[in-house]
Structure 1
């Protein structure tokens, strides 16, 4: 059985987007560039390790100091399929990863860095879900860096397991399994 992971790149809608709206959105390089390029103010300094620690402590994403900063950054939703309980990305999802990579190579996004956040549903143990979400986020980071030549210092990965479900009333719901990509602002080491 395959599990569907949603890669959230939602432009200013926050993390509460319905699955039907996400599925209806067409993915294209231009849509990704437009959505991820909508920075309206200076971006906060984000420490990936602090994000990981806050996620393990629990709470809602918006209530945690560092995550509340991240939730205000540009993002968008597309689907990435993984084999069940695995970091193996289904071959059909490479087209979507290619579109994301093309967008990250676009001149409008060239000077930005990005955070990949892995999420799971609550179908496994909390420890297993945290590990699986980290490995999936890292798999996307690695593919973007190696296969698609995105500079590794522009992309960061963190797994948060089941900590921030979209559908909190059904923690095991499939739409809680997703990966998010956030624009973290200017990449200054060029």
Structure 2
């Protein structure tokens, strides 16, 4: 009898742990690493929130038309730009806008000191490619931001992060036909560590994808 009770108790604990793990992946941001994300998780994270169906009622704060227009003009300005041509100010403006947009922080690992995508992260990149060609997302402008760990100098890491972002863009364009003009690549080097307490950890060598929700200026 005690053995049966012990087995049931263990099963319950495992079930709770499984549910907890599932809930730990939020809508706005998912994590890859050893456990690669799926196309559905990426779609959920990058899809704009659906607006409630109301008649004659305004729900929630309304966006300032002037701000929306300025943001759209900025996105249009950075489209079709080479990664290295972005100024420090433009990179920071991208980071600021990204905070309020649907995004996913993929821990796409790269080989150490390299812009080569590691084999264990290829499934996540492939899932990303499928998601970006889904009708719900296709045609939006996406930011692909590259990051490094803290090893090495600032200039070197900036260059490496840009090459990593470019590697993802190249893969998405070559393998999935995502229009290059819909992918804006930016590098942040070691300036925005995901885990500052462990500056050399693999988790810092990552790529973030942001849906800028700007289909009006994107290719169809």
TM score, norm. by length of structure 1: 0.74
Q: Work out the CA distance in 2 between the residues paired with 1:132 and 1:51.
A: 15
Residue 103 of structure 1 pairs with residue 113 of structure 2: no
How far does residue 70 in structure 1 lie from its aligned partner after superposition? 1.6
Larger strand share, 1 or 2: 1
Residue 90 of structure 1 pairs with residue 97 of structure 2: no
Q: Work out the CA distance in 1 between the residues paired with 2:128 and 2:137.
A: 11
Check 1:26–1:147 CA distance in 2 against 1; reply closer, same or farther (3 A cut): closer
Q: Work out the CA distance in 2 between the residues paired with 1:10 and 1:113.
A: 22
Aligned equivalent of 1:74, options 102, 109, 118: 102
How far does residue 66 in structure 1 lie from its aligned partner after superposition? 4.5
Residue 54 of structure 1 pairs with residue 89 of structure 2: yes
User: 8 Å contact 1:12–1:74 — kept in the other structure?
Assistant: yes
How far does residue 113 in structure 1 lie from its aligned partner after superposition? 1.4
Greater RCO, CA 8 A, separation 6+ = 1
Give the number of equivalent residue pairs: 169
Q: Work out the CA distance in 1 between the residues paired with 2:199 and 2:158.
A: 14
Q: Work out the CA distance in 2 between the residues paired with 1:10 and 1:142.
A: 28
- Stretch deviating more after TM superposition (45-54 or 29-38): 45-54
How far does residue 52 in structure 1 lie from its aligned partner after superposition? 4.5
How far does residue 186 in structure 1 lie from its aligned partner after superposition? 2.5
Aligned equivalent of 2:37, options 9, 17, 27: 27
How far does residue 123 in structure 1 lie from its aligned partner after superposition? 0.8
SS at match of 1:136: helix
Paired position in structure 2 for 1:183: 211
Q: Work out the CA distance in 1 between the residues paired with 2:195 and 2:90.
A: 17
Q: Report matched runs for 1:127-146 at 5 Å.
A: 127-146=155-174
Paired position in structure 2 for 1:154: 182
Q: In angstroms, what is the RMSD of aligned CA positions?
A: 3.1
Paired position in structure 2 for 1:115: 143
Check 1:114–1:159 CA distance in 2 against 1; reply closer, same or farther (3 A cut): same
How far does residue 158 in structure 1 lie from its aligned partner after superposition? 0.8
SS at match of 2:170: helix
Q: Report matched runs for 1:5-24 at 5 Å.
A: 11-12=27-28
Larger helix share, 1 or 2: 2
Structure 2 gap ranges (5+): 1-24, 51-62
